[in-house]
Amino acid sequence: MSRTRQAAPRTTRGTAAPPTAAPPTAAPSAGEQARRALAVAAVGTVLALVAFTAPLATVGSVTAALGSDVAGRTWILSSMGIGLGAALLTAGTLADDRGRRRVLVGGLAVLAVSSLAAALAGGTLVFVLARVAQGIGAAAVIAASLGLVAHWFEPGPARAAASGVWGASVGGGIALGPLVASAFDRWASWRDTYVVLAVAALVLAAVARRRLDEIRSHERRPLDALGATLLAVATSAFLAALVEGRSGWGRPEVLVLLGVGAVSTAGFVVTERRTSFPMVEPSLFRDGRFVAASAAALATGAGAIGLLSFLPGFLALALGLPATTSAVLFLAWSGTSVVAALVARRLPASWSGRAQLAGGLVVVAAGQLALSGITPGSSWTRFLPGLLVAGVGSGVLNAALGREAVASVPAGRGGMGSGANNSARYLGSSIGVTVVAVVVAAHAGPGPGASGLVAGWNVAAWVTAAISLVGAVVVWATTVTDRRRAATDAVGDPSH
């Protein structure tokens, strides 16, 4: 903690000043700690998302430098998602029980070291492993960050405002990643992106360790080591199968990965039902608010993120746009989401979290539909209306998801809530990217590259819009179910 230097005591000539005790360090107020926590949480989330999206604009340069084949290119784009999906829930649980500052600082350190490894990588395997490690570090940062927000900001307007800032940081990181990476790729080297990211992560870790108080849940629970291991194996196997499956779903390695994922998932479910301290309480899956937040996160990843993660590559291959132009166009979606998330803080209190989730998904779907109907002769301006509309919906979703992720779990378990919700989001994004890749490949056919890609893109836009709408219906259905349950309970209560 910082200390305030005091002026030396004044003395009269020939008289020594009496010794004085050093004043105690002034502890920061709760309001100051809250502001510091929100600033660190927002910047940490930006760094995590910059790392996640950076390869979207530079995958061509990276694959050329590393000598990667088609499979290597796929892994370069997808490997960080495996680390995120495998570690988010465990990181959130550890943050609640062992300390949110500790997990945040540790995650930033892992992100820094793995980013440096990515910068120095000489081959595809080393780069992919570094990206997986980046995902693990980013998982700790994201889960602990939202846990900090949940601790320092009470439910109501204060948390809504803080969640809006956190949601804006999600959009900000998504926006900055391709821009920063493409700028370094053009003027220096794509490797410099990871060097700068490593330095920034180390600086933020030092600031967090010095300026934030350690906080943890009042109830310190033992880590469910078996459950954490089974979850990591299940998630990693399933996500790896999605990546490998893009080259053929009947291959033995894909079937083995799917089998390992299914067995590990079953083992995780059994373990969580039997342990006294499960990572996720089974009763939460009967809670409408938790189910709605998880479904909205899954639909966000599989819908908007799945389609728009494919956008930079599509613009380069189908329309011949340079990486910098694609990155700027990508900003129309991600940058708009930043503004929308900040504005969402001022939405009327009568608009419930689930109403905002369902409404955001519907708006996102409208934007995705507007991104269909592309022709090989379309200019980049044709994409702007759909990207702007999708950006508005994404901003509202990011703000609402940040708030609902921690509001839908017991008090003191905000890190776990963040981990569970973001696990759904990044699992959804891996599913969405795979769906888009498979749809585009199926419709591309043997004809000319541009026309085939465009045809596939148009179908993918409709498919992912449908995913967003299904998510909105599920969120709405949980609201209806909860209302009916409440009405039934009221009728059966003699006091009514």
Give the pLDDT confidence of 256-287 residue by residue, as tens digits. 999 999 999 999 999 888 888 888 888 888 88
In a domain, 25, yes or no: no
More confident residue, 434 or 357: 357
Mean pLDDT on 402-429? 87
Q: What is the pLDDT of residue 492?
A: 59
208 within 8 A of 40, measured Cβ to Cβ = yes
Residues 344 and 403 in one domain: yes
pLDDT exceeds cutoff 70 at 2 = no
With cut-offs at 50, 70 and 90, classify the pLDDT of residue 12.
very low
Geometric angle at alpha carbon 165, from 160 and 170, rounded to 5°: 120
Distance CA 348, CA 51 (A): 34
Residues 178 and 261 in one domain: no
Residues 158 and 245 in one domain: no
pLDDT exceeds cutoff 70 at 106 = yes
- By C-alpha distance, which of 306, 307, 292 is closest to 357? 292
With cut-offs at 50, 70 and 90, classify the pLDDT of residue 73.
confident
Structure-token match 């199968």, residue found? 241
Residues 260 and 362 in one domain: no
In a domain, 344, yes or no: yes
CB atoms within 10 A of CB 214: 11
Helices (H), 17-66: 30-53, 55-66
Geometric angle at alpha carbon 397, from 174 and 152, rounded to 5°: 85
The residue segments making up the domain with residue 324 are 30-224+277-489
Of 126-140, 185-199, 264-278, 290-304, where does mean pLDDT reach its minimum? 264-278
Residues 305 and 449 in one domain: yes
Q: What is the pLDDT of residue 348?
A: 82
In a domain, 257, yes or no: yes
Mean pLDDT on 109-116? 98
In a domain, 17, yes or no: no
Residues 272 and 289 in one domain: no
Q: What is the pLDDT of residue 1?
A: 40
Structure-token match 């991600």, residue found? 334
Query: What is the 3-state secondary structure of 167-209?
Result: HHHHHHHHHHHHHHHHHHHHHCCHHHHHHHHHHHHHHHHHHHH
- 217-234 exposure pattern, b = at least 16 Cβ within 10 A, e = fewer: beeebeebeebbebbbbb
Output the CA torsion sign for 311, 296, 86, 179: positive
62 within 8 A of 72, measured Cβ to Cβ = no
363 within 8 A of 305, measured Cβ to Cβ = no
Residues 271 and 281 in one domain: no
In a domain, 106, yes or no: yes
Give the pLDDT confidence of 170-224 residue by residue, as tens digits. 999 998 998 899 889 989 999 999 999 999 999 999 999 999 988 877 667 777 8
The percentage of residues in the chain with a pLDDT greater than 90, rounded to a whole number, is 48
With cut-offs at 50, 70 and 90, classify the pLDDT of residue 9.
very low
CB atoms within 10 A of CB 120: 13
Give the pLDDT confidence of 365-388 residue by residue, as tens digits. 999 999 999 988 888 889 999 999
**393-to-212, 360, 453 alpha-carbon distances in Å:** 33, 4, 26
User: Average per-residue pLDDT in the chain?
Assistant: 86
In a domain, 359, yes or no: yes
Q: Which amino acid is at 41?
A: A
Residues 103 and 184 in one domain: yes
With cut-offs at 50, 70 and 90, classify the pLDDT of residue 244.
confident
CB atoms within 10 A of CB 3: 10
In a domain, 469, yes or no: yes
Distance CA 178, CA 193 (A): 10
Mean pLDDT on 245-251? 81
Structure-token match 């930043």, residue found? 338
Residues 93 and 208 in one domain: yes
107 within 8 A of 141, measured Cβ to Cβ = yes
65 within 8 A of 119, measured Cβ to Cβ = no
Assign residue 210 the CATH number of its domain.
Answer: 1.20.1250.20
Distance CA 219, CA 149 (A): 19
Q: What is the pLDDT of residue 8?
A: 37
Residues 366 and 484 in one domain: yes
pLDDT exceeds cutoff 60 at 16 = no
pLDDT exceeds cutoff 90 at 396 = yes
Torsions phi, psi for 250 (to 5 deg) = -90, 0
Mean pLDDT on 97-126? 95
Q: What is the pLDDT of residue 20?
A: 45
Q: What is the pLDDT of residue 409?
A: 86
Cα atoms found within 13 Å of the Cα of residue 477, Cβ hemisphere only: 9
Give the pLDDT confidence of 414-425 residue by residue, as tens digits. 888 888 898 899
Total domain count, the chain: 2
In a domain, 253, yes or no: yes
Residues 208 and 253 in one domain: no
Residues 95 and 232 in one domain: no
